Structure 1
Amino acid sequence: MEIKFAEVLDAPIIHDLMIKAFMEYKDEVPSSSALEETVQSVLIALKDGEQGLISYVDNQPVGMVRFQLKEDGLYFYRLSVIPEKQGLGIAKKILGSLEDVAIKKGVTTIFCKVRMTVPKNIKLYRSIGYGIYDEEVVHKPNGINIKVVSMKKRLN
């Protein structure tokens, strides 16, 4: 497996991986906002400073993560592994590469937010050293509320 930094021209690959991975949440109420994103919105985000890592197996893209460096740490989101490759440790390898990026940039903390309705993701992050430090309810415009936990990991 090879993990590479995403280029702006990789927006279609990032979008495709994200949509394939997030389709499992299409029936959640509300469905993930990831499913509303477009290649164009990903492209604009990359042009505006968002970064990404893409994982390849046999030169085929199988997973990705998007992230931003902020004052207090590195925030990642939309971690995606295509359904047929889930459960093989790809997400953990992507997150390991993300930690390497953070360390090289002098960042000491990595953050993410996870829906409380997706305990397998909370379990994944906990298994590699993330802890919950906050809970909140995100209020969507249509009156639907989403309970999320904020998780973080301190790097040495």
Structure 2
Amino acid sequence: MKIKFAEVSDAPLIHDLMIKAFTEYKDEVPPSSALEETIQLISTALKDDERALIGYVDGDAVGMVRFRLNENGVYFYRLSVIPEKQGQGMAKKIIKSLEDYAIQNGKTAIRCKVRMTVPKNIELYSSIGYSIYDEEVVVKPNGVNIKVVSMKKQLTI
């Protein structure tokens, strides 16, 4: 897998990968807000301080992760691998690249949030050294509550 930093012009590709990956959550209550994001929203975020990595296999984009650097480390979200490539270690490779980038930039922690209703994602992160450090209920504008866990991994510089 070849992993590259995204450009603002990659917003349509990032959106496509995300929609393909998150479609499996369309029947969740509520559905993932990732499914409501637009190319324009992603483009605007990339112009601000959001960054993204895109993973390619044989020249085809198969996955991506969006993230932000902050004083506490790296916060990532919307990790996406297209359905036909899931379960093949693609997500772990993308996250490993992100961790390497974080270390190169002097960051000592990497974090994410995961819906408690998606234990396979909690298991994925746990299998590569992440641990749960917080639980919360996110209240959506429509009044639906979502239970999430915050996960973190300490990085060694």
TM-score bin, normalised by smaller chain:
over 0.9
Instruction: Give 3-state SS (helix, strand or coil) of 1:143's partner.
Output: coil
**For structure 1, which runs of at least 5 residues remain unmatched after alignment?**
none
User: Aligned pair count?
Assistant: 156
Alignment-mate amino acid for residue 57 of structure 2: V
Residue aligning to 2:29:
29
Equivalent runs, 1:131-146 vs 2, <5 Å: 131-146=131-146
Matched, 1:49 2:49: yes
Shift of 1:54: 0.1
Shift of 1:62: 0.2
Shift of 1:26: 0.1
Query: Alpha carbon RMSD of aligned pairs, Å?
Result: 0.4
Q: Distance in 2 between matches of 1:19 and 1:119?
A: 20
Q: Distance in 2 between matches of 1:84 and 1:141?
A: 33
Equivalent runs, 1:1-156 vs 2, <5 Å: 1-156=1-156
Alignment-mate amino acid for residue 11 of structure 1: A
Q: Distance in 2 between matches of 1:135 and 1:87?
A: 26
Shift of 1:143: 1.1
Shift of 1:119: 0.1
Alignment-mate amino acid for residue 20 of structure 1: K
Q: Under a length normalisation based on structure 2, what TM-score does the superposition of the two structures give? A: 0.99
Q: Output one character per residue of 1:26-48: Cα deviation in whole Å (capped at 9) or x when no partner.
A: 00000000000011000000001
Alignment-mate amino acid for residue 20 of structure 2: K
Q: Report the identity percentage.
A: 76
Q: Distance in 1 between matches of 2:99 and 2:63?
A: 16
**For structure 2, which runs of at least 5 residues remain unmatched after alignment?**
none
Instruction: Give 3-state SS (helix, strand or coil) of 2:142's partner.
Output: coil
Instruction: Give 3-state SS (helix, strand or coil) of 1:12's partner.
Output: helix
Alignment-mate amino acid for residue 130 of structure 2: Y
